[in-house]
Structure 1
């Protein structure tokens, strides 16, 4: 299961991730392209960082993740802040049993890249379509092929804080557009360090491939941009953002 071994230290390791930028990006697209509603489904919500920020902006948020361990951390953080967010353990490839529709379905922080086939991505887009209200938005981001081949491939990342240290090696996988991450974490306990090992696989596709899958799900593509900007992706863009809408409602 993804993030099974180190959910407890995930937030410490990801403390420099620009969650505020993600939240601002999503909020701006909802204002620009949305149907005026505020019900959000945050797929692959992890420890709830973006769900919490969206809630603080006034959205009615449901967070969904396949990892029970990550959701446990999300529950705790949300309760400590005195917020009310519904969390659900569920596979994003399948429509949930929730008896409601959403004005936005978000898949942030390259969570979509953990799906290992086009069929899985297509199933996720179809499930998202089925859970969107009329005029609702699907917004997601993915690694670019450039990032897979030129940034991740053969790279080693390391960090050494007082309580947590890590070594992260990345190398190309067997499938086109795939990358494998071999991670080791060392967590300080009272008088020793506990080691966690994780092996993660991610896969991405060309922009044209994502466009085709969006269309096949019945969604209208509204915008493609890169790296939290308004700019179109270029050959060195690292993160690609897609905004799509259910059943038209052209502005």
Structure 2
């Protein structure tokens, strides 16, 4: 519901990039700029990155000459994104907004310096992105539809929405049950379970921060992702005044198949004319 403030990344955010998660954003940026946009061109270079996390994709786009705003509901992630942006030239610096992508214009929004509502105008973005299976965290069709509506409202006429989602095949069969990540000063242990009835995968993440001399501090987070049939996603996208232009096996330009792990959705805002 609007106004939710619970932050599942509160403890994990400082270790998010260091645990290797940053690699996905770098890979997706290359895919977006090198494969998707040449095949699905847009007129301008103003982008909105929904669920931007620590801001890697937004920063890469800004470095490539885009005007970018990143949005995330996690105060901890937004704080890191804003800190990283300080090293970027002011003329290229992306802005980061703390807000829920389901109710972008209804939320109380905070940017680097005060209110950012003037920068977040409906119908002003040529590109809207939502990556790293962020949409799988939407556990109801109503919430997923709200995200698509946000993207459609943000886009200019003929603007492009690009997003990815994990498939049921991946969540049920390919996502490892147990994963252990070790970095200097940080240990992460995660265990996942897929429920066929709800099509949801629940991951329990336990982290240990510290060192052998002073000891370690433990934290725990729960992450739940839901898989949706591609037909249902396409229907919800279409209901949001967006037209699906392509459904790719992510990081390729090939069609999806039974064993596709991640789908890249490319949809265009329908002209108001």
Which residue in 2 is equivalent to 1:48?
55
2:167 aligned with 1:144: yes
Q: Cα deviations across residues 148-201 of structure 1 (Å, max 9, x unaligned)?
A: 11023x710112222211110000248522110100011125611111111111
- Which stretches of structure 1, 4 residues or longer, exceed 3 Å deviation after superposition? none
State the partner residue of 1:232.
Answer: 255
Where does residue 42 of structure 2 map in the other structure? 35
Q: SS where residue 8 of structure 1 aligns?
A: helix
Q: How does 1:91-240 map to 2 (within 5 A)?
A: 91-96=100-105, 97=117, 98-99=120-121, 101-152=124-175, 155-173=177-195, 176-189=198-211, 191-240=214-263
For structure 2, the 5+ residue unaligned runs are: 1-6, 106-116
Q: TM-score scaled by structure 1? A: 0.93
Q: Which moved more, 1:228-237 or 1:29-38?
A: 29-38
How far residue 202 of structure 1 moved from its aligned partner, in angstroms, is 0.9
Match of 1:2 among 3, 8, 11: 8
What aligned pairs does 1:60-99 form with structure 2 within 5 A after superposition?
Answer: 60-82=67-89, 83-96=92-105, 97=117, 98-99=120-121
* Unpaired segments ≥5 residues, structure 1: none
CA distance in 2, matches of 1:48, 1:142: 19
In the aligned structure 2, how far is the partner of 1:243 from the partner of 1:15? 23
Residue deviations 1:20-52, cap 9 Å, x none?
220122224233323321110000000001111
CA contact (8 A) 1:145 1:205 kept: yes
Asked if the contact 2:125–2:154 (Cα under 8 Å) also holds between the matched residues in 1, the reply is yes
Separation in 1 of the partners of 2:43 and 2:87? 30
Q: Secondary structure at the match of 1:210?
A: helix
- Give the deviation of 1:203 after TM superposition: 0.8
CA contact (8 A) 2:71 2:96 kept: yes
Alpha-carbon separation, structure 1, partners of 2:19 and 2:11: 13
Provide the aligned length of Structure 1 versus Structure 2.
Answer: 248
Q: How much is the aligned-residue C-alpha RMSD, in angstroms?
A: 1.8
SS in 1 for 2:102: coil
CA spacing shift, 1:48–1:16, aligned 2, 3 Å: closer
